[in-house]
Amino acid sequence: MAAGGQTLANRLRGKGGLIAVVLIILLGLLIWKDQGRTPPPPPGKNPPVSEYVGLRSDEVEEISIKRPTGVLALARHGDDWVLTRPIQADADATKVNEMLKELLDIGVATQTGVTLAQVADRLADYGLAKPAAVVTLKGRGKTHVIQVGGPAPGGGSESFAVETGDGRLFTIATYKANDLKKKKAADYRQMSLLRIKGDQLTDVQIVQGSEVTELKRDSKGDWQMLRPVAAEVDRPEVSSVVSALQNLQAEKFVVEQTDDPAKYGLDKPRLKITVTDKRGAHTVSFGKSFGKDGQVYAQRAGDPAVAVIAKYSFTDLNKGYGKLRNRIVMDFDSDDVTKFEITNAHGSMAFEKQGGDWRLIKPIQAKANGTAVEDLLITLSEPSNAAIEENCRDLAKYGLDKPKATVVVWTKDGNSQTLFVGKKSPLPGYYVRSSGTQVFEVLEQTVAQIQVKPTELKAKPAGDAANS
């Protein structure tokens, strides 16, 4: 060893006291950890309630809140929560977890420095002689009880509380105390009728009376219609339905169980939707409307409770073959059109694109109103209002054997498409078809654009355009 060197023993000699202190601190921390508690906070920093209780929010398996109005109880099922008292129903896991986190993991307002034993003869001063709420928490194989008392001096923004096993009084924010005292089962109930993720759905079945519409997502993630016909779907409409399903919420539950489903129109639901994801099939039935706002009764399969949903939610979902099928009658891009011809009550007229401008070439030769022509072509290329019948064998039924008007459109590739306009529909609208036997319905304003006079599509003189 070099001169002046020290062995490890020499370096530690005289430091036994320091080592002992360190060992005592480590031992203390181990004891705290073994008891399920977090270590004490640094001086001057308020600890979370979990330090008094010995249980973090994510360790709670059951919670029961007893108050004069009754008992509210919940239990954890994996990642989910269920209400067990006063009703048995699915709970909103997010709301329950937030409540527990607020109670246990957020800092305590004030440490009082007194214990239950010290104020045993003065419990009423703390509102603990008859606690407004008694919270029983179960987790890690142990039971912990928190009593919630009255407001602390200083404006009432804090309220007294104590974990009976620990015995130290502390305060929590009064708004947290009030939640424990007042919130009902409905505040924690799961209001989502279909807890699904739209991108995980594989099948959707919509039953409207005797009509069944079935959609299936293929391996590429695209939806196809299987029933009542095999067909392409209207993608925006299907996306809208999937979104509405994912966001379907009960506004309230009107009864926990009914022996008379006919009272709510649920014995013969006017709409029934079944969706399938990796967890299986989920079904909701929709019954009668009620109230001035047009709310609708709804019930999830396997749940005896009857819920109420908003009118707009029902409207967004009440779509079948007519809306979800691909409703394009004339499939073209308006920019690709080179010529079109209209035959209507005013005769026959033809238009042709020349050098980038539209010209009326029949019955007269004149420059056309380019904006009006483009508006008409865009209208013709848009989806119709509804699909009516897939393979029509009786065109006369819709007035399509002797159409009131026709439109023929030619595109750059030399192909042409024809639109036939038939009778008025009850919408009100009009029945139409293209070259096939599929019948669609268009709105009145579409046919109004077709029943145009040649002069209405003629370009206005420069002076008229300036004055218009």
What pLDDT, on a 0 to 100 scale, did the predictor assign at position 464?
A: 52
Rounded CA gap, 100 and 391, in Å? 59
What pLDDT, on a 0 to 100 scale, did the predictor assign at position 157?
A: 92
* Ordered per-residue pLDDT tens for the chain, 468 residues: 444 444 433 443 444 544 444 444 444 444 444 444 444 555 557 889 999 999 999 999 999 999 999 999 999 999 999 999 999 999 999 999 999 999 999 888 788 889 999 999 999 999 999 999 999 999 999 999 999 999 999 888 999 999 999 999 999 999 999 999 999 999 999 999 998 999 999 999 999 999 999 999 999 999 999 999 999 999 999 999 999 999 999 999 999 999 899 999 999 999 999 999 999 999 999 999 998 999 999 999 989 999 999 999 999 999 999 999 999 999 999 999 999 999 999 999 999 999 889 999 999 999 999 999 999 999 999 999 999 999 999 999 999 999 999 999 999 999 999 999 999 999 899 999 998 889 999 999 999 999 999 999 998 876 554 443
What pLDDT, on a 0 to 100 scale, did the predictor assign at position 291?
A: 87
Phi, psi torsion values for 376, nearest 5 degrees: -65, -45
Per this entry, what is the length of the chain? 468
pLDDT in tens, 156-178: 899 999 999 999 999 999 999 99
- Give residue 272's Cα distance to chain centre: 18
What pLDDT, on a 0 to 100 scale, did the predictor assign at position 460?
A: 82
Helix (H) or strand (E) segment spanning residue 20 = helix 16-34
- Give residue 349's Cα distance to chain centre: 50
DSSP string, 36-81: TPPPPPPTT-PPBHHHHHT--GGG--EEEEEETTEEEEEEEETTEE
- Give residue 175's Cα distance to chain centre: 29
Half-sphere exposure at residue 451, Cβ-oriented, CA atoms within 13 angstroms: 11
Both tokens assigned to 36 = 């399920």
Both tokens assigned to 46 = 């308020």
Which CATH entry fits the domain spanning 334-461: 3.40.462, 3.30.70, 1.10.540, 2.60.40? 2.60.40
In sequence order, the 6+-apart residues with CB closer than 8 A to the CB of 306 are 253, 254, 255, 258, 264, 266, 297, 298, 299
Contact between 417 and 332 under an 8 Å Cβ cutoff? The reply is yes
Rounded CA gap, 363 and 348, in Å? 7
CA-based nearest residue to 443, from 456, 430, 453: 430
Query: What are the residue boundaries of the structural domains of the chain, listed by start?
Result: 49-188, 198-324, 334-461
Contact between 443 and 433 under an 8 Å Cβ cutoff? The reply is no
Q: 449: which strand partners?
A: none
What pLDDT, on a 0 to 100 scale, did the predictor assign at position 343?
A: 97
In sequence order, the 6+-apart residues with CB closer than 8 A to the CB of 131 are 147, 148, 149
Total-model pTM:
0.79
pLDDT in tens, 76-126: 999 999 999 999 999 999 999 999 999 999 888 788 889 999 999 999 999
What pLDDT, on a 0 to 100 scale, did the predictor assign at position 232?
A: 95
